[in-house]
Structure 1
Amino acid sequence: MKITDITLDRLRLDLDPPLRAAWDPVPRDHFDATVVRVHTDEGLTGIGSGDTMDGFEAFKNLFLGEDPLDIVRHVKAIETANFHGGCYWPLEVALWDIIGKVAGLPVATLFGNAARSLPVYASCAELKPPAERVESALAARENGFRAMKIRIDRDRAAEGVLTVAAVRDALGPDFVVMVDLNQSWRMAGDTAAGTDLAATRRLVRRLAELDVFWVEEPLPYADIDGFRTLRAENPGVRIAGGEMQHSVPEILRYLETDVLDIYQMDVVLAVGMLRARTLAELAQLRHRQFTPHSWTNGVGVLANLQVSAGVGGGPYFEFPYDPPRWTPARRDFLLSQPLTITAAGELEVPAAAGLGIELDEEAIGRWRIS
């Protein structure tokens, strides 16, 4: 089998009303997605998505004429292209989709088949006052969620703590609450300084008192000593991070020096599927956990799910969800049907061979920009 072509569909969904994501410098009035299709001479087509694939056309020739099943070779080639261009892990996703289709199995089966479904948490996007966030948490629980991640603004930490406390009081001890401080990296144009270590130590200590399950990305990635300080001071709360760490050696350093409790490398944005599997297994061998970031679109959610279910990630899987401005319909606009969870609050691995992606070609035609 040979790769005959790699095509890209660049899509843009208009968002009205806009999404006011906590990590965005300005409200988001559109949502971009790039669909990658790897075509072969045997009629199989692999589908991937996640990052923008900007500049990939200059590296397309590295893959044409090659066997799509030679995944180790392709991962190494993507890593060299990433160094000189963008972030091309959606191509690896499409290749794994082909591999699964050739094998007649879900990719999660090829990655270990540790789980057929994973418990999810509702991963919120917007900053909401206590009463409004309590209302959304109650609605999420009614829809099957047993856990929720709440964002806290570094400049409004006191309000964030009040919001977490209100959710804890309203939903009780059995509802799991995580908190994301979004301090490890910045969106383009966000030049504000992060909170200092002393303020972060006070904040994490207060969140631990509220029985928060984990505190995510509380410090910049470079502050390894700060991460270790937070873990040592707060044995009752887990420290999570690593979603956008693109360097495998950097993540290995984290593992070797025991920086985190939960590793969150996104397979379409950070290190790819094959590398994420290796790093996840290393984390688990050290009695640490892997639960990937999955804030892209439905294809990115499925790619992360396949890897996480394959290796037995957990204890929860991220499900981007914050109605009314972030719904499965918006997130998965390129799919024929949005991904949904079970009544038990789990996301099931699709039974179809490959990644289980079913594109909505009409939506792709409608929202295509190039």
Structure 2
Amino acid sequence: MKIDRITCRVVDFPLKGEFHPAWARGRNQPNLLMVLIEVETDDGVTGIGAAHAGLEAAITIERFVAPYFIGQDPMYVERLVPILRDTEILGAPVYCMEMPLWDLIGKVARVPVARLWGGYSDRVPAYCATAELRSPEQRVEDVRRMIAEGYRAVKFRFHLPDPRDDLKVVEAVRGAVGNQIEIMVDANQAGVEPGHGGHRSWGFPLALEVARELERMNVRWLEEPLPRHDYDGLRRLRDRLDTLPLAGGEDNHGLHEFKLLIDRGCYDILQPDALLSEGVGQMRKVAALAELAGLEVAPHTWGNGIGLMANLHLAAAIPNCPFLEFPHDPPSGWTAAARDQMLLEPLVIDAEGCVRVSDRPGFGLVLDEERIAHHTVSTHVVSARD
């Protein structure tokens, strides 16, 4: 079996309503931009993946990855992974290219990828990841709806000019629903979208002040309280806390950075992302290192339903994953339906707030080909015949 053809389609899906993510410096995000990746073999098997990116990722794959994947056996993933690492010095990070290889292998083996990797569970608890900044009153209303829908955990963003005002959201929700739902907080201090204004860097004193307040309110974790490479600051902050875990890692790249995060004692919970941080198979190595260090792994997800599916299979295959991130923030334009609009079978939570792993082989993806075709803006193909 050899890789015969690689196709990247840049797809620009519209959102039905306005969406102002906290990390976007106040800007409206009108769309979901992604690259659909298909790796086809000479035996007619196709592996599916995606990039949380646009044209830059498609061109990087076309120029720096596809020429060295074509003609290779997709079963030998570890031989191909170094190409993805080397590519980052020339183009956009495309660790996402490991995903279609594992999807393909699962299809050939006729088993879900999570089971191919040894399996730990057939479902994973989800937390409802919000993105916008809203008033305490609105968030109380949102959380009551989440509880009714079956969610057992929720994540809020802290991005107001004064984080003491952000704390009022957690106080209001705790006062309204008590401990009916777990609460996580994301400060997004590791990285935000480029631009001017709309973001305040915390620094260590403010991060410690906020963390201690969240600790008092029994928050499950504080995410990205300091810049992603402030290893000393993160360790110092973690050492000053008693019960509040620190989480992060989505904006760190490569196994070497995650080893640094572990060795330097930066986080209690690592959050690699199969489309951003490292290849989904390589993330199993991160999870194993974390397990040995007594740490948890809760994969980050935001961009699209294909990436969420990859992170779900990883989460279901490891013993140290407490939660799966489940982006969903109605009534904004970013909902679970919008996130998964490239799929005919969107991911949902069950009555106990968990996401189940499909029994279909590979990652179990069923694409909405008609919708994808309608919103495709460019197609990039490299084949053995070129």
Q: Tell me the TM-score normalised to structure 2 length.
A: 0.93
**How many Å separate the matches in 2 of 1:242 and 1:276?**
12
Deviation at 1:115, TM superposition (A): 1.1
Please say if residues 100 and 106 of structure 1, whose CA atoms lie closer than 8 Å, have aligned partners that are also in contact.
yes
**How many Å separate the matches in 1 of 2:302 and 2:104?**
23
**How many Å separate the matches in 1 of 2:177 and 2:358?**
31
Deviation at 1:50, TM superposition (A): 3.0
3-state SS in 2 of match to 1:245: coil
3-state SS in 2 of match to 1:237: coil
Please say if residues 154 and 181 of structure 1, whose CA atoms lie closer than 8 Å, have aligned partners that are also in contact.
no
- Count of matched residue pairs: 370
Amino acid at match of 1:267: A
2:363 counterpart of 1:355: yes
| Among candidates 121, 142, 146, match of residue 152 of structure 2 | 146
2:205 counterpart of 1:198: yes
- For structure 1, the residue ranges without an aligned partner over 5 or more in a row are none
**How many Å separate the matches in 2 of 1:147 and 1:241?**
17
Specify the alignment match of 1:340 in structure 2: 348
Specify the alignment match of 2:227 in structure 1: 220
| Among candidates 274, 277, 280, match of residue 281 of structure 2 | 274
| Among candidates 128, 134, 139, match of residue 133 of structure 1 | 139
Specify the alignment match of 1:171 in structure 2: 177
Hey, which bits of structure 1, 4+ residues long, moved more than 4 A?
A: 190-193
3-state SS in 1 of match to 2:347: coil
Specify the alignment match of 1:4 in structure 2: 4
Please say if residues 266 and 293 of structure 1, whose CA atoms lie closer than 8 Å, have aligned partners that are also in contact.
yes
Alpha carbon RMSD of aligned pairs, Å? 1.3
**How many Å separate the matches in 1 of 2:316 and 2:85?**
24
Please say if residues 96 and 280 of structure 2, whose CA atoms lie closer than 8 Å, have aligned partners that are also in contact.
no
| Among candidates 50, 63, 69, match of residue 69 of structure 2 | 63
Of stretches 247-256 and 6-15 in structure 1, the one that deviates more from structure 2 is 247-256
Specify the alignment match of 2:114 in structure 1: 108
Deviation at 1:190, TM superposition (A): 5.0
Within 5 A, what are the aligned runs for 1:72-83?
A: 72-83=78-89
Deviation at 1:211, TM superposition (A): 0.7
Deviation at 1:86, TM superposition (A): 1.1
Amino acid at match of 2:373: G
Specify the alignment match of 1:33 in structure 2: 34
Please say if residues 96 and 278 of structure 2, whose CA atoms lie closer than 8 Å, have aligned partners that are also in contact.
no
Deviation at 1:27, TM superposition (A): 1.3
Please say if residues 294 and 320 of structure 1, whose CA atoms lie closer than 8 Å, have aligned partners that are also in contact.
yes
Deviation at 1:193, TM superposition (A): 5.3
- For structure 2, the residue ranges without an aligned partner over 5 or more in a row are 379-386
Please say if residues 51 and 89 of structure 1, whose CA atoms lie closer than 8 Å, have aligned partners that are also in contact.
no
